[in-house]
Chain A
């Protein structure tokens, strides 16, 4: 190769490089903050159309294709087009909400409605702090679609607005109402003549009895041990009142080491110490542990009310799973035995830069109509956040116990939201601490220390926006 050849080739190579550098300038980060995507299609507001929907504006809906599937959403979309026949709806369903939608948020062209849920959920802390989600306040004050004389706000169960609010702004509509409690098989318990224990001492006594009968009293999702943080925190809240949770949510110093948390951790340590947990549980994931439980290898498991549909395929006939609140620690508890954690899950949001923002809000209003809610409950066997929407619907056994338990819990119901505010704290840090604690490698004090260290890490991280629970 002579020198001229080399020169010529270099020239050719640099020619090739030119288009590549051009591409480089406008990629992942986009080109600055232009609001071109923020222009929203709007119609005129009227009594019939309180949100100002442009009737022929197309609407794009992205659904998380998880336990609930996507059929329920297609039904909601049909209700929307029934009202706005000129509108076309682009529907898609995915399990990877974050990877699918991240570039579109950056680009300023997000869909109009996003069901941000599942393992691929986008962390709400990041979304909210970047102003990526539209305020849903207008939706709350709009009249309900088919409950006469009521605003949307007044049709919702208590706590729904609280759980979707960030610094007082209602940004996220969580659609499915979920109860968190302890599950057992009614059949197993009647066969053996066991009674669900209302106090901690009875619980321990029953565990001893169950173990003697050759069944493991407890199992849990060892790979996702945060499932066990739910009964521990619930026990603490029932012992010390709802402020226990508020302190945790607001990352107050030593919130995890409060007296109530100590009492709860000490109590729960007994099921570890006395070997009431099924051997091998730390190596099981949620499905594996729930399946062992369905096979009658363990008596109790901690889960949310999605358990029944998640386990539908492997639950034996007549198993009749029931949910119950955590046992009371003693007579000094601030909340009665019936109090349990009920909260809204399955989050929906309208991106701030959605083209058809009004349509997105209207879609949510359709979901929150009595018709939309009842259809959801019928299709996926889950409760919605719309009050009274289960009336006249035949519920499966487990779900009917959820309704009963929530009714009994009533105004004593409680909740916490740190898992929404700081996803990492629950998913990674408290999760790891629970794993150590429930496999017997740490003491209650070490467990709470580890949780507190996680909370302090979040509190001290200036790149994470802090929210205050009101």
Chain B
């Protein structure tokens, strides 16, 4: 075995590493190179302009507006999704209190699990189209319901005061199912006797959640936080499909700025790459910060 080890390892490693190099690393590196040029994307020539693109970035009001929206997403998307995810999954897994000592979910939790996970099997574009119709100001499900109970019916996606929040709600809706399942799986791994002991002590559901479940789930929450933070810095597909950044740029995000700069209304690939590079560092630092900030001692069940 010892002698055949390296050929074997190399045969298995070379193809994936090569693919990774060509399709992941090389585009990244090229983006760095292109971001220092004024390339317009449809010829083979480009002039080196140094850091000019990055200088222009600093003065680009439209970009800062998009960054602001991404930062709001960065705070709200993880908080809302994780809070809802934790709430739902704890209700599904240990919310039931039917007198007996067993730790079970609320009645019908199987059906709920299915419903929560539903958005996860839909493609993002379908989700966007679906919600575009739900938000339809005149014939949409949402406004029809609001009107039926006598509430005012806003034009959700057509009003700069609501458009961004309407899309944020869809982002939470689309993501929460996955985290319900993720947290649920982690909760299953918590020994039942801990809960039984807690219940014997007469703890309420809220205390159980905050004092027992969340501390024991901390690792999973941390992972969820990073995933969601990265998702929050993107948000491109939903925004592009639902509002295209409008009205009046009120729901713009960095990804959409980048796309429009290269493919949409202009062909400034150099400048778009510079936006991409900024996004790269932003995502990287958010991930590192999230890891650092949420570092805690690990609890191991013996």
Binding site for B on A (CB under 8 A): 12, 16-17, 19-20, 23-24, 27-34, 98-99, 102, 105-108, 120, 122-123, 125-127, 129-132, 222-223, 225, 278-285, 288, 292, 297, 423-424, 427-428, 431-433, 435-436, 439, 441, 463-464
Contacts and interface: CB of A to CB of B under 8 A. Distances in A.
Interface in B21-49: 21-22, 25-27, 29-30, 33-34, 37-46
B266 A432 contact: no
A102 B41 contact: yes
A16 B30 contact: no
Given A29-B30, A284-B136, A432-B248, A427 B264 contact: yes
A222 B155 contact: yes
B6 interface: yes
A16 to B, nearest CB: 5
Given A16-B17, A20-B25, 17 more contacts: A12-B6, A19-B21, A27-B26, A29-B33, A29-B37, A102-B42, A108-B44, A123-B267, A222-B155, A223-B158, A279-B138, A281-B155, A283-B136, A292-B138, A435-B247, A435-B248, A464-B266
A122 B267 contact: yes
A464 B56 CA distance: 14
B22 A30 contact: no
A283 B42 contact: no
B243 interface: yes
Nearest to A352: B43
Given A12-B10, A19-B18, A223-B243, A281 B158 contact: yes
Given A20-B22, A282-B159, A29 B39 contact: yes
A432 B247 contact: yes
Contact of A432 (B22, B143, B246): B246
Which 3 residue pairs spanning A and B have beta carbons closest together?
A280-B137, A283-B158, A126-B267
A16 B18 contact: yes
B177 to A, nearest CB: 27
A279 B217 CA distance: 48
Contact of A223 (B10, B25, B244): B244
A451 to B, nearest CB: 12
A251 B259 CA distance: 25
Interface residues of B, number: 52
Contacts of B137: 279-284
A126 B29 CA distance: 24
29 contacts: A16-B13, A20-B21, A27-B30, A28-B27, A29-B34, A29-B44, A32-B45, A33-B43, A102-B42, A105-B43, A106-B42, A106-B44, A122-B267, A126-B266, A126-B267, A127-B42, A129-B40, A222-B155, A223-B247, A280-B143, A280-B155, A282-B247, A424-B265, A427-B265, A428-B260, A428-B265, A432-B249, A435-B246, A441-B160
Contacts of A129: 40
Given A280-B158, A463-B271, A32 B266 contact: no
A29 B247 CA distance: 35
A333 to B, nearest CB: 31
Interface string B5-25: 010001001100110011001
A120 B39 CA distance: 19
A27 B34 CA distance: 11
B10 to A, nearest CB: 7
A280 B30 contact: no
Nearest to B53: A463
A420 to B, nearest CB: 12
A32 B43 CA distance: 9
Q: Which residue, of B30, B132, B137, has the highest number of chain A Cβ atoms within 10 A?
A: B137
B263 A99 contact: yes
A354 to B, nearest CB: 13
Interface of B: 6, 10, 13-14, 17-18, 21-22, 25-27, 29-30, 33-34, 37-46, 132, 135-138, 143, 153, 155-160, 243-244, 246-249, 260, 263-268, 271
Contacts of B264: 427-428
Nearest to A98: B263
Contacts of A423: 265-266
B158 A282 contact: yes
Q: Is chain A's binding surface mostly helix, strand, loop or mixed?
A: helix
Contacts of A284: 136-137, 158
Contacts of A282: 137, 155, 158-159, 247
A120 B259 CA distance: 11
B9 to A, nearest CB: 8
A285 to B, nearest CB: 8
A280 B263 CA distance: 30
Nearest to B249: A432
A130 B40 contact: yes
Nearest to A13: B17
Contacts of A28: 27, 30, 34
B50 to A, nearest CB: 14
Nearest to A34: B44
Contacts of B158: 222-223, 280-284, 439
Nearest to B270: A463
A34 B44 CA distance: 8
Nearest to A285: B132
Contacts of B271: 463
A127 B132 CA distance: 34
A283 B135 contact: yes
Contacts of B43: 33, 105-106, 130-132
Contacts of B33: 29
A279 B137 CA distance: 8
B40 A126 contact: yes
Given A105-B42, A123-B267, A281-B158, A24 B6 contact: no
Contact of B44 (A32, A285, A439): A32
Nearest to B20: A20
Contacts of A34: 44
A51 B43 CA distance: 26
B248 A283 contact: no
Contact of A31 (B42, B44, B157, B249): B44
Nearest to A124: B267
A285 B241 CA distance: 11
Nearest to B273: A28
A120 B144 CA distance: 34
Contacts of A125: 266-267
Given A16-B17, A29-B34, A439 B42 contact: no
A436 B42 contact: no
Nearest to A282: B158
A463 B138 contact: no
Nearest to A28: B30
Contact of A126 (B21, B42, B249): B42
